[in-house]
Amino acid sequence: MTIIERLQQHKNLEPHKMALIVDDIQYTYGELYDAILSVDINNTSHIVNFTQSKETLKTKVLLIKELSFVEQLTQWLGAIYKDNIPMVCHNEMDKAYVDELARIIAYEGVPPLADFGVLTSGTTGRPKPLWRRERSWRDFFDIQNNIFHINKDVKIFLQGSFSFTGVSNMVIAALWAGGTVVTTSSLRPSRWIQLIEEYNVDHIYALPTKLRLLVRHCKSNLSSIKYIIAGSQVLDRQLMEQLQHICPDMEFILYYGASELNYITYCTGKEWLEREGTVGRPFPTIQIAETDNVIYVTTKYHIEGIPNTYTVNDCGYIDNDGYLMFNGRAGDVINKGGYKISIPEMELYLQSLQGVSEVAIIDITDEIRGEDYVVYMVLDGEARLNEVIDFIHNKRPSVEWPKAIIEVPMLPLTECSKVDKRKLKEWYNKG
């Protein structure tokens, strides 16, 4: 059964059931399906045309440039329904970049079996197009939904653009199950909390950066929350304890994945606390291996054009119990005069210090040592930067001391809620 056929089934069985809630505007499964069928592709998307050939089975790529979550979702599904290839552009991409992306796609072409395109997050460089078959998601939905406890009764809150694979995958998977997606265009945590309470939401999907904002602004218990699903950014014990405090009945689920490979591993909050630094064990049907500290994943749920066993050059090792201990992406190591410093490990250490709320590290060039690093840090209200620096100097060898620690009121985020390290480097270079 295709995604469109599944949505049609939900419409036929429960047309009045709520599928989507966007800032208090509600869409039933019947309304959502009808909206999909009524989409006028020619008037809504930047179209890249292909000459039909035996190598290219579909003739149009639709670059969807919409800020509205509902329009992003319905146009994406409408393109799938009409047998075109949709790709939702990131909101920060201007017309010049969309035009450039269109030229690249027209020149490079699209894999013959591709059903839709996704863009990488672009946190360390320009976003690049990746191509998928629908079944690379669809055939895995039941597996991931079982792990994430997503079913027809779920109400899941998330915030972000449909252009990001984590958001789009979770939305379509929840709709596949017949659940309800609750979202908002607002970046204010107070609005997130309002919607969670108003609609009795039981799941939250968010990266740790947004979870930290949530706990910082939440003044009451979110007693309806049963599960929090988070991607594999830097976690710390303090955040886990804060989440448990405001969501006393919740179970935390951490996952590790990649745009190229879908979901790879997962663990509960309890497992993470027992093995800090782990990203869990493989999802069913997924295999992982490690060679020379590089992680290799064997899966059939991947983008087009890569083999079933593949690496995105993430580093780590597998412990004796089969848990993957994650050390970051290859290149996330600073060679400071011959001394190697892992950026993810150092961020995790700094994040664990008392009074430290958020941390981000950028690498810089050093005339003497070759490479060094700078720390951007958000502190709790009562913490003092000089005390944090003194503590680091007392506890860590001098070769591990950062070039500078800069206190900021908040870290800049990309649209997909990852720390925008390109922006931090711009700040540093401007002095």
Class of domain 333-430: alpha beta
Q: pLDDT value at position 126?
A: 63
Q: pLDDT value at position 54?
A: 41
> Rounded CA gap, 297 and 316, in Å?
12
pLDDT of 351 strictly over 60:
yes
CB atoms within 10 A of CB 277: 17
Q: pLDDT value at position 420?
A: 85
pLDDT of 340 strictly over 90:
no
Residue type, 142: D
Q: pLDDT value at position 124?
A: 46
SS3 25: strand
According to DSSP, residue 355 is labeled: T
Give the start-end residues of each E strand in 178-250.
180-183, 203-205, 227-230
Q: pLDDT value at position 52?
A: 43
Average pLDDT over residues 159-185: 94
CB atoms within 10 A of CB 275: 15
- Per-residue pLDDT tens over the stretch 263-272: 999 999 999 9
Q: Burial-class residue 59 by CB neighbours within 10 Å (0-12, 13-18, 19+).
A: middle
Average pLDDT over residues 136-145: 96
**Is residue 130 within 8 Å of residue 117, measured between CB atoms?**
yes
pLDDT level of residue 415 (50, 70, 90 thresholds): low
Q: Mean pLDDT in the chain?
A: 88
In the chain, where the domains are located = 39-133, 333-430
Q: Burial-class residue 202 by CB neighbours within 10 Å (0-12, 13-18, 19+).
A: buried
What contacts 429, CB < 8 A, 6 or more positions away? Answer: none
pLDDT of 161 strictly over 60:
yes
What sign results for the dihedral spanned by CA atoms 22, 72, 143, 268? negative
Average pLDDT over residues 310-326: 91
Choose from 171-185, 211-225, 312-326, 391-405 the range with maximum mean pLDDT. Answer: 171-185
Q: How many residues does the chain have?
A: 431
Q: pLDDT value at position 157?
A: 97
pLDDT of 57 strictly over 60:
no
pLDDT of 58 strictly over 70:
no
pLDDT of 53 strictly over 50:
no
Average pLDDT over residues 197-221: 90
Identify the residue with better confidence: 298 or 235.
Answer: 298
> Rounded CA gap, 182 and 199, in Å?
8
Q: Specify the range with the lowest mean pLDDT, choosing from 16-30, 111-125, 146-160, 319-333.
A: 111-125
pLDDT > 70 in the chain, percent: 93
Q: If you count DSSP H runs as helices and E runs as strands, how many of each does the chain have, helices first?
A: 14, 24
